[in-house]
Amino acid sequence: GYRKNCSVIITKIPFQNNIASLAGTSRETVSRAFSRFEENAYITKTGRHLVINDYPRFYEEFA
């Protein structure tokens, strides 16, 4: 990925089942987490790209 202003753009994000496997959880849990992040404007998904809209805010909340 790369930074653009306060955002981070991640190209070619892994499939949800791959993320779930790495995190030791289910694909459904990953899907729900992404949905919540989108509802709260933390991220925007476009196809296989994911944008963390305000990376400093995201990092402060979840790191």
The CATH architecture of the domain made up of 2-62 is: Orthogonal Bundle (1.10)
Q: What is the CA radius of gyration of the chain?
A: 12
- pLDDT on residue 5: 95
The whole-model pTM stands at 0.83
Q: Which residues lie below 8 Å from residue 17, measured CB to CB, with a gap of 6+?
A: 27, 30
pLDDT tens track, the chain, 63 positions: 999 999 999 999 999 999 999 999 999 999 999 999 999 999 999 888 999 999 999 999 998
- pLDDT on residue 48: 87
The dihedrals phi and psi of 21, each to the nearest 5 degrees, come to -60, -45
